[in-house]
Chains A and B, each alone.
Chain A
Amino acid sequence: MQNHQFDLIASPGFFIATLLIYAGGAIGSLLLQNNDRRAALWSTLAAIAGSILGVSFAVAALLRGIIPAFTSESTFPLLSTSFYVDSLSALFVLAICLVALCCSIYALGYLRHYYAKYNIGLLGFFYHAFIASMILVVTVHNALSFLIVWELMSLASFFLVIYEHRDSANIRAGILYFVMTHVGTAFVIFAFLLMYQATGSFEFSAIRVGLDYASPILRGVIFLAALIGFGTKAGMIPVHIWLPSAHPAAPSHVSALMSGVMIKTGIYMLIRVSLDLLPPGELWWGMTVLVAGSLSALLGVLYALSEHDLKKLLAYHSIENIGIILMGIGCTLAFSATGHNTLATFSLIAALYHTINHATFKALLFLGAGAVISATQTRNIEHYGGMIKTMPQTALFFLIGSMAISALPPLNGFFSEWLTFQSLFRGATSFDAFHDFPFILTIGALALTSGLAAACFVKVFGVTFLARPRSTGAAQAKEAPFSMRMGMAGLAIIAIALGLFAGPVSRVLGQISANLIPGGKAESLGELNLITVSSPDKFYTISMPAVFLSLLAASIILSLLVFLMTRSRRVRIAPTWDCGTDLTPRMEITATGFARSIITIFKGVLRPSRQTDIEYHDSRLRYFPKMEKVILGQRDIYQPYFYQPLRELISKLAIQVKRIQSGKINAYVLYILLTLLGLLIYFLR
């Protein structure tokens, strides 16, 4: 393609055209809401078209290094806005549109489940508003405009979470999400107001310059407020409680978008604030993020292990992966604060790579889960089994996603986790004994997380697709429609490609990272080519194509060996020896049984509960049990130990504050007078 064509695609006009298509998709869906089929077709086709334009725009901007930007000036601050699509923004636009493209293709078949049950036009409206607002969140360059689009994204996703409103659990999940997202937004507003106080502007470009002169304490407070605010959206522990309820409640293609890309907008803003708007911070910023990342990763995967609701389990894995991304950001902040700019750049590559990877494989897994749930009408994995026979292609895509999230080579998850490990190893050797310690602990946490994630997906894949069906739904399941498989196939191919072509992708991410780290130079990052990725001092080197070829060669050699060793044997088909009983699905290992031993090891954290109900043949004698029912679960530690005390504290404060609400208009005017005098004294002194 000619350069001028790239320039045309990476122009503000093309960007606006993308947004207009989403706007058209939203309005058209509403207008066609009386006809489910037409509304679904219009909604999905418009989303596909918008996503293709968005992907083209982002790719052109990234490859050509163009920064499309435009500003709208007004004397009224709310009407002033600016958009600035630098390479970081372009990367996130690419991730959003790529995942949205696959989800929209998937939705062509998936939306049929909702025909005549729910309003498809309304779903299409909020779906488009959701995607467009996510794109705006990562491109807007003005704090006030940002808050508006951030709120738009939250509201659109809230309505998508409560879309299946006849289920009261979904309404509860939506309300929890609504409350938590606004708690997070309160912290975000606080951070922006502090920035405004320090710089006198809501424009990111002015804030970037003005914050250089802000005091370290103010910068620290802004950083903490941003970490809590954006961490809430990202699903960081302990402000994660909305995520495991809200993500499963939404339709599966929306869950894929929420888990795949919406929570990444929190990561995007954390990077934007801590590495772009704020000048290089202090070491404790990095250490704080490292600790938050370790806790989120480890606890996220432990909760996932004990979960039997397929979508909830995947939501917990999102918390785990956000933790891994935070580890990379933590390393970046720590290295940046101490002047290790090349290492900071490399750590940021790890964080960004895992962000993109998680967007693809988590979306793939949610789409796979959606296909399975549509076929079986249940989210409980104990009711699955043997579905590899009835849904072989879905099983293959789910397996690819499972392997990627379990960080198995040569898939993308492996490479980004490997990079994160390398960053942590460098951290453990670059600081004094005291500051090495968090890195060493984080390495342990990441190692444990990786192992547990692999165990969890052995459970999920094994219990869902292998062995024999445990329910009629699983036995009678049919393969997902073609468009749903297409959507999954797209994401599976991207996951494989991101693993195999790690070098070129790292080079692009290296350029983005170098732009954000003061003193960071893409040329100093070592070899980042098609074959090899290595650090300048050869501390680490890896070749993903070589890893792939090695695995392929090993598989071929092993197959050949097995073939050679067994070719003389006769194949004899006979029943399995079963101790004289009939084998039934009830004899298979269940998800609960599989996870119970691991849960027992971590019972101090997970607080497993066991409730036993016994029914006796004779309730007076209580000798001969007729039926025994065991309910295994986990106690929620966040409600009683964190949110409940916090709620009580806020309630007490509210009761005290309520005293000023006397119901007398004279008193209220007195408050106005006192405030006026206070402001006069404060500003004129």
Chain B
Amino acid sequence: MTFITPQLLLVLTTTVFTSAILLHLTKKNSSAVFYYVIQSAAISSLLVIASFERISILLLISISATVAVKLFIAPFFFFRLIKRHQLKFTVSTYLNTPLSLAAIAVLIALVQADFIKPLLLLTTSGQTFILNLSLSTILISLFLIINRKGALSQMLGILSLENGIVSFALSAGLEQSPGLQLGITFNIFVWIIIATVFSSMIFRKFGSMDVTALNRLTE
């Protein structure tokens, strides 16, 4: 029995992709975390459904851990960071909104280019559009890290990038072993803790979460 139908895959992947774009558009940190939660919920749903197909307790445990980290632990740490340092808004970007959207459009166009076609052969469902969306999510998330000056937005960009990679792997039918999944989840968990601790330290030292303040370290 196949639980992941192409339609369901399309809906969830589109959610992941849309969340990545909304992460670019939002000016509020709390909204950004909220969009990340939506993106993670979509990815978690994909993972849970995939685990039903392979009836494996270990896989279910590892996916439960992933869901816990993505949907509960990471948002908890981010909301606490926002509350502690009063980081309501993060409007600081290198490109303004129209230019950011133009750059996103260029990245999406790149994914539609001919040279990407060999990569689309990976798709198992035959719907290359889904794989395109996942690849676009990866590039858009990378662009989020580049365009934003705030440390929190960059952290969300990295997590969104990770969600994009998971979405790509699922769309391409690349199976993950439970051990590997658990390892990745643990890695993200540790990374979130370290990143939030470092962000707090940066805020205490420089009075801002703006990473451009770190330039002073090079002087």
**Interface residues, chain A, with chain B CB atoms under 8 Å away:** 663-666, 669-670, 672-673, 676-677, 680-681, 684-685
Taking a contact as CB atoms under 8 Å apart, the answer to whether A663 and B217 are in contact is yes
Taking a contact as CB atoms under 8 Å apart, the answer to whether B154 and A665 are in contact is yes
Contact pick for A680, options B94, B119, B215, CB 8 Å:
B119
Taking a contact as CB atoms under 8 Å apart, the answer to whether A680 and B211 are in contact is no
Interface pick from B36-44, B55-63, B142-150, B166-174: B142-150
> Any chain A CB within 8 A of the CB of B105?
no
Contact pick for B211, options A665, A676, A681, A684, CB 8 Å:
A665
Most chain A beta carbons < 10 A, residue from B146, B211, B217: B146
Cα distance A485–B20 in the bound complex, in angstroms = 78
Q: Can you show 16 pairs from A to B with CB atoms below 8 A apart? A: A663-B214, A663-B215, A663-B217, A665-B154, A666-B94, A666-B149, A666-B211, A669-B142, A670-B146, A673-B143, A676-B139, A676-B142, A680-B119, A684-B116, A684-B118, A684-B119
9 closest Cβ pairs, A-B complex = A663-B218, A669-B145, A685-B115, A673-B142, A684-B118, A670-B146, A684-B115, A669-B146, A666-B146
Contacts of A669 in B (CB 8 A): 142, 145-146
Kindly provide the distance from the CB of A164 to the nearest chain B CB, expressed in whole angstroms: 40
> Given A663-B215, A664-B212, A666-B94, do A680 and B146 touch, yes or no (CB 8 Å)?
no
Taking a contact as CB atoms under 8 Å apart, the answer to whether A666 and B147 are in contact is yes
Closest to B157 in A: A669
Cα distance A138–B175 in the bound complex, in angstroms = 42
Kindly provide the distance from the CB of A565 to the nearest chain B CB, expressed in whole angstroms: 88
Cα distance A363–B92 in the bound complex, in angstroms = 69
Closest to A681 in B: B115
Taking a contact as CB atoms under 8 Å apart, the answer to whether A677 and B110 are in contact is yes
Contacts of A666 in B (CB 8 A): 94, 145-149, 154, 211
Q: Given A663-B217, A666-B147, A666-B211, 19 more contacts at CB 8 Å?
A: A663-B215, A665-B145, A666-B149, A666-B154, A669-B145, A670-B146, A672-B142, A673-B143, A673-B146, A676-B139, A676-B142, A680-B115, A680-B119, A681-B115, A684-B115, A684-B116, A684-B118, A684-B119, A685-B115
Cα distance A355–B146 in the bound complex, in angstroms = 58
Cα distance A672–B147 in the bound complex, in angstroms = 13
Kindly provide the distance from the CB of A503 to the nearest chain B CB, expressed in whole angstroms: 62
Taking a contact as CB atoms under 8 Å apart, the answer to whether B215 and A664 are in contact is yes
Contacts of B116 in A (CB 8 A): 680, 684
Contacts of B214 in A (CB 8 A): 663, 665
Contacts of A673 in B (CB 8 A): 139, 142-143, 146
Cα distance A665–B218 in the bound complex, in angstroms = 12
Kindly provide the distance from the CB of B95 to the nearest chain A CB, expressed in whole angstroms: 11
Cα distance A681–B149 in the bound complex, in angstroms = 29
Cα distance A665–B153 in the bound complex, in angstroms = 13
Kindly provide the distance from the CB of B158 to the nearest chain A CB, expressed in whole angstroms: 9
Cα distance A669–B142 in the bound complex, in angstroms = 7
How many B residues touch A, CB cutoff 8 Å? 22
Contacts of B217 in A (CB 8 A): 663
Cα distance A663–B212 in the bound complex, in angstroms = 9
Kindly provide the distance from the CB of A155 to the nearest chain B CB, expressed in whole angstroms: 32
Cα distance A669–B149 in the bound complex, in angstroms = 12
Q: Is the interface of A mostly helix, strand, loop or mixed?
A: helix
Cα distance A670–B117 in the bound complex, in angstroms = 24
Kindly provide the distance from the CB of A636 to the nearest chain B CB, expressed in whole angstroms: 38
Cα distance A664–B94 in the bound complex, in angstroms = 12
**CB-defined interface of B124-168 with A at 8 Å, one 1/0 digit per residue?**
000000000000000100110111110000100000000000000
Kindly provide the distance from the CB of A13 to the nearest chain B CB, expressed in whole angstroms: 35
Q: Is the interface of B mostly helix, strand, loop or mixed?
A: helix
Contacts of B143 in A (CB 8 A): 673
Closest to B218 in A: A663
Contacts of A672 in B (CB 8 A): 142
Taking a contact as CB atoms under 8 Å apart, the answer to whether B119 and A664 are in contact is no
Contacts of B117 in A (CB 8 A): 684
Contacts of B218 in A (CB 8 A): 663
Contacting A at CB under 8 A, from B188-214, are 211-212, 214
Contacts of A676 in B (CB 8 A): 139, 142
**CB-defined interface of B101-114 with A at 8 Å, one 1/0 digit per residue?**
00000000010000
Kindly provide the distance from the CB of A213 to the nearest chain B CB, expressed in whole angstroms: 24
Contacts of B139 in A (CB 8 A): 673, 676-677
Contacts of A680 in B (CB 8 A): 115-116, 119
Most chain A beta carbons < 10 A, residue from B116, B142, B154, B215: B142
Kindly provide the distance from the CB of B20 to the nearest chain A CB, expressed in whole angstroms: 14
Closest to B139 in A: A673
Closest to B217 in A: A663
Kindly provide the distance from the CB of A55 to the nearest chain B CB, expressed in whole angstroms: 48
Contacts of A677 in B (CB 8 A): 110, 139
Contacts of A664 in B (CB 8 A): 211-212, 215
Cα distance A685–B117 in the bound complex, in angstroms = 9
Cα distance A665–B144 in the bound complex, in angstroms = 12
Closest to A667 in B: B146
Closest to B147 in A: A666
Kindly provide the distance from the CB of B213 to the nearest chain A CB, expressed in whole angstroms: 11
Closest to B151 in A: A665
Contacts of B94 in A (CB 8 A): 666
Contacts of A681 in B (CB 8 A): 115
Kindly provide the distance from the CB of B97 to the nearest chain A CB, expressed in whole angstroms: 17
Contacts of B211 in A (CB 8 A): 664-666
Closest to A672 in B: B142
Cα distance A673–B142 in the bound complex, in angstroms = 7
Cα distance A669–B144 in the bound complex, in angstroms = 10
Closest to A663 in B: B218
Cα distance A115–B139 in the bound complex, in angstroms = 64
Contacts of B148 in A (CB 8 A): 666
Cα distance A204–B47 in the bound complex, in angstroms = 43
Contacts of B215 in A (CB 8 A): 663-664
Kindly provide the distance from the CB of B140 to the nearest chain A CB, expressed in whole angstroms: 10
Contacts of B147 in A (CB 8 A): 666
Contacts of B212 in A (CB 8 A): 664
Closest to A685 in B: B115
Closest to B158 in A: A669
Cα distance A676–B139 in the bound complex, in angstroms = 9
Contacts of A685 in B (CB 8 A): 115
Kindly provide the distance from the CB of B177 to the nearest chain A CB, expressed in whole angstroms: 14
Cα distance A673–B94 in the bound complex, in angstroms = 16
Cα distance A669–B145 in the bound complex, in angstroms = 7
Cα distance A677–B143 in the bound complex, in angstroms = 12
Contacts of A670 in B (CB 8 A): 146
Cα distance A669–B148 in the bound complex, in angstroms = 11
Cα distance A624–B129 in the bound complex, in angstroms = 99
Cα distance A680–B118 in the bound complex, in angstroms = 10
Cα distance A684–B215 in the bound complex, in angstroms = 37
Cα distance A551–B70 in the bound complex, in angstroms = 89
Kindly provide the distance from the CB of A385 to the nearest chain B CB, expressed in whole angstroms: 61
Closest to B138 in A: A676
Cα distance A670–B146 in the bound complex, in angstroms = 6
Cα distance A673–B143 in the bound complex, in angstroms = 8
Contacts of B119 in A (CB 8 A): 680, 684
Kindly provide the distance from the CB of B132 to the nearest chain A CB, expressed in whole angstroms: 13
Closest to B110 in A: A677
Closest to B118 in A: A684
Contacts of B115 in A (CB 8 A): 680-681, 684-685
Contacts of A684 in B (CB 8 A): 115-119
Cα distance A684–B214 in the bound complex, in angstroms = 37
Cα distance A665–B143 in the bound complex, in angstroms = 12
Closest to A673 in B: B142
Closest to A671 in B: B146
Closest to B119 in A: A684
Contacts of B154 in A (CB 8 A): 665-666
